[in-house]
Amino acid sequence: MPRTSRIDGLAWVATALAAVASAAGLFTNVYRDVAPMVDQARGTDLATLFGAVPALVFALRAAHRGSPTGRVVVVGALAYLIYTYAIYGFQVVVSPVTPLHIAVLGFATWSVVLMVPTMGRAVAVGGHLRRRTTSAFLGLVVVMFAALWIGQIMSIVTSGALPSAITDLHLPTSAVYPLDLAFALPLLGLAAYRLGRGLPFGAALALGGLVFATLMALSILGLSLVQQANGSLGDPSMSVGFGAIAVIAAVLAGRGLVEPDHPHAPEGHALEGHAPNTVR
């Protein structure tokens, strides 16, 4: 199994490249897409540069000191990079930063693939999460977005007409549909189920999911800020909704950042006298 320090090296490279790519997207005219897509890309760059990158720096340093909680936060933030740069890689017009986007996607993906098997100590992470509240929140997010995307897909299938959110970007479809329905939402649903049932790694999965959800919501808020700066901000309800998701996810995650009382718990076993998923 690869040494953790080498795996962390991949994560550090992904973080550094994401910082460079997002800074280039924000502060130069590098994108070649239509204006609405450029706004989305720069809104995401804003969240990446000032949200995901600092979170990864602090979490990677904590993980290097042996913190299993830091390791879980790293995986959650890397999941955000994978999701984000998959969209850049498959949906954004090729530009001078495309090689960086592909590199971030690759380094972040392989970091997670190699990191997950080393996370046995994460069984005790997130013991201070509000179990029922967090499980319900994650479940609500899953149901809400699954219904939204499936509804849109079925409408396209029956009517043959694409929604303006796709046509305005001059795209044949949205990369969000497969990313959410095939990957992100099932993982969040699994986290909600395991946390709600008090199963091993449920709290760790939920904490990682909350980190991911916070960063994703911040990327939508970033889009709103970019649109406001351009004078193109329309209905503010989307900003309010995703702002609420970001705040709730961040507050719930805050409790999960408390280090476990027994960080060296063996994988898959509950600790005597310690109930990591108790309701508080």
The span from the CA of 111 to the CA of 175, in Å, is 22
Enter the pTM of the model. 0.90
Among the residues of the chain, which ranges form H helices? 4-27, 35-47, 53-64, 68-91, 98-115, 131-159, 164-167, 176-178, 185-197, 202-230, 237-256
User: Is there a domain that residue 20 lies in?
Assistant: yes
Angle at CA 173, nearest 5°, toward 169 and 177? 115
Contact present, 59 and 70 (Cβ < 8 Å): yes
274 φ/ψ angles, rounded to the nearest 5 degrees: -135, 120
Q: In this prediction, what percent of the chain has a pLDDT beyond 70?
A: 91
3 state SS of 162: coil
Between 68-77, 87-96, 122-131, 170-179, the lowest mean confidence (pLDDT) is in: 122-131
Q: For residues 231-258, b (16+ Cβ closer than 10 Å) or e, as one string? A: eebeeeeebeebbebbebbbebbebbbe
pLDDT range class, residue 128, cuts 50, 70, 90:
confident
Q: Which residue has the higher pLDDT, 265 or 4?
A: 4
Q: Report helix, strand or coil for 274.
A: strand
274 found inside a domain: no
Cα 122 to Cα 67: distance, rounded to the nearest angstrom: 9
Q: What is the pLDDT of residue 261?
A: 60
Task: Give the pLDDT confidence score for residue 122 in this predicted structure.
Answer: 82
In a domain, 238, yes or no: yes
Q: How does residue 6 score in pLDDT terms, banded at 50, 70 and 90?
A: confident
Q: What does the alpha-carbon distance between residue 249 and residue 186 come to, in Å, rounded to a whole number?
A: 17
Domain that holds residue 190: 4-256
265 part of a folded domain: no
Kindly state the average pLDDT of the residues 119-127.
Answer: 83
> What confidence tens digit (pLDDT) does each residue in 190-237 have?
999 999 999 999 999 999 999 999 999 999 999 999 988 887 776 777
Per-residue pLDDT reduced to its tens digit, 263-273:
444 433 333 33
**What is the structure's pLDDT at 244?**
95
Arithmetic mean of pLDDT over the chain: 89
Cβ contact 192:206 at 8 Å: yes
Q: Is residue 262 part of a domain?
A: no
Per the rule left: phi > 0, alpha: psi between -120 and 50, beta: everything else, 198 is left
Would you say residue 274 has pLDDT above 60?
Answer: no
Examine residue 271 and state whether it is found in any structural domain, yes or no.
no
Are the C-beta atoms of 81 and 216 separated by less than 8 Å? no
Q: Is residue 272 part of a domain?
A: no
Structural domain count of the chain: 1
Which tokens in the block code for residue 117?
């098997």
**15-40: pLDDT as tens digits:** 999 999 999 999 999 999 999 999 99
Q: What is the pLDDT of residue 238?
A: 81
DSSP E strand boundaries for 89-150: none
In the block, which residue shows the tokens 């044949």?
Answer: 172
User: Is residue 270, in this structure, part of any structural domain at all?
Assistant: no
pLDDT reported for residue 71 = 94
